[in-house]
A and B are shown apart, each in its own frame.
Chain A
């Protein structure tokens, strides 16, 4: 269980990384924390010819609180985000979800953007990004583009990142006054990928629910507020529309039921948490 051979390029500047990726094209791959990617290398599921290590690029290591959003550079580790002092106050949803991302021993190295790039349908950070309506900032030698979370995740482990392109940063919209957030997850064991994960954002006018672990990508729908007679039906419709996967750990029916029950609890909590 050893990786196939590859060239390993330790980029020191962003242009170096972008040039290397452009040259490698389809055969190139960014490595940051490597916590999801190295197992795929070891199992030889992935065998890129060129790995471009971006962790030595200083400008990607920053957390920038800008207008209405926190911009997290591609080199920021999950543990670094978790220990950012303003996290609980400004990004309560991410703060609630981060402890569910792997374990302490993987969050110490795994990056926030790496989790997005991996695009596992059960992963927590893609779900948060969808729920919050964030943006992914892509960069290639040709230039920059930003893409909404909805358009970023194309399918199981498939994203809008093109050959020669890399994630430069991600923007998580900050909490607004009057909003409430909640995150809940059911997994087989603590730290496992979610069987079903729910993230809810309650605004002054309504509530939206995002669900991970069920469809090929995290999905989001606006929902009626608790108390509405329509909420049960809306949750049920959403549960069915996700066209749930089946695997060793859960049946489709079970996932649908968790969407209904966990979804409701998450929505109620988000509404309760509005300030």
Chain B
């Protein structure tokens, strides 16, 4: 049984956006701190550290989850996707990202990566998600800039494009 004692850092191995990562961290580190300050992936933001605001949302094994509510000790073997993994290639935005730009679905952009990860995970599982389902998923995120209406518009527009692409595929 692995014992991650408090007195030192321990090896943590996981997959980040499809690439293997192996780092050393104290067991008590949050996944958000691990990603940002140990790995250097600062796209995942921290807004409350108590699981309410949703800014730190990442995908863990395909499902959206709060990175601030996961301890480094729990991360071993996880498959994690973050906002840094959404671009199909550097400089080209995904359908979801493009929809947010087209519909002004962001202002300061701080809550945006978390919202993108929730929607990315939703649309991967349910490309035909209805408006109520999208709204229910977004209710786990706080945004202080947009008033949410532009975010809903962006999400619906992205879904429509993704559904069309799915049908053509």
Direct contact of A and B (CB under 8 A): yes
Within 8 A of B (CB), among A41-66: 41-43, 51, 53, 55
Partner pick for A10 among B1, B33, B118, B122, CB 8 A cutoff: B1
A148 contacts B by Cβ under 8 Å? no
Residues of B within 8 A of A79 (CB): 63
Residues of A within 8 A of B140 (CB): 102-106, 191
A7 & B1 in contact (Cβ 8 Å cutoff): no
Q: What CA separation (Å) do A245 and B63 show in the bound complex?
A: 36
Partner pick for B50 among A1, A4, A10, A13, CB 8 A cutoff: A1
Q: Mark A1-27, 1 if CB is under 8 A from B, else 0.
A: 111111111111100100010000000
Q: What CA separation (Å) do A11 and B1 show in the bound complex?
A: 5
Q: Give the residue among A43, A99, A105 with the most B Cβ atoms within 10 A.
A: A105
A272 contacts B by Cβ under 8 Å? no
Total CB contacts across the A-B interface at under 8 A: 112
A109 contacts B by Cβ under 8 Å? yes
B71 & A31 in contact (Cβ 8 Å cutoff): yes
Closest chain A residue to B62, Cβ basis: A108
The number of residues on chain B lying at the interface, defined by a beta carbon within 8 Å of a beta carbon of chain A, is: 35
Which of B3-11, B82-90, B105-113, B154-162 lies at the interface? B3-11
B22 contacts A by Cβ under 8 Å? no
A104 & B64 in contact (Cβ 8 Å cutoff): yes
Which of B13-21, B24-32, B93-101, B143-151 lies at the interface? B24-32
Q: What CA separation (Å) do A164 and B28 show in the bound complex?
A: 22
Residues of A within 8 A of B51 (CB): 35, 38-39, 106
Give chain A's interface residue range (CB within 8 Å of chain B).
35 or more
Q: Mark B56-70, 1 if CB is under 8 A from A, else 0.
A: 010010011110111
Q: Mark A79-91, 1 if CB is under 8 A from B, else 0.
A: 1000000000000
B56 to chain A, nearest CB (A): 10
Q: Give the residue among A35, A103, A190 with the most B Cβ atoms within 10 A.
A: A103
B159 to chain A, nearest CB (A): 16
Known: A8-B4, A16-B1. A38 touches B27 (CB 8 A): no
A42 to chain B, nearest CB (A): 5
Closest chain A residue to B76, Cβ basis: A10
Partner pick for B3 among A7, A35, A38, A43, CB 8 A cutoff: A7
B40 contacts A by Cβ under 8 Å? no
Residues of B within 8 A of A1 (CB): 49-50
Closest chain A residue to B4, Cβ basis: A8
Q: What CA separation (Å) do A16 and B3 show in the bound complex?
A: 11
Q: What CA separation (Å) do A41 and B74 show in the bound complex?
A: 14
B127 contacts A by Cβ under 8 Å? no
Partner pick for B74 among A6, A31, A191, CB 8 A cutoff: A31
Residues of A within 8 A of B118 (CB): 104-105
Partner pick for A9 among B1, B28, B71, CB 8 A cutoff: B1
B133 to chain A, nearest CB (A): 9
Spell out A's residues near B (CB within 8 Å): 1-13, 16, 20, 31, 34-35, 38-39, 41-43, 51, 53, 55, 79, 99, 102-106, 108-109, 189-191
A–B complex contacts, Cβ < 8 Å, 19 sampled: A5-B28, A6-B28, A7-B6, A8-B27, A9-B2, A9-B4, A10-B3, A12-B1, A41-B28, A55-B74, A103-B140, A104-B118, A105-B140, A106-B65, A106-B66, A108-B60, A108-B64, A109-B60, A191-B139
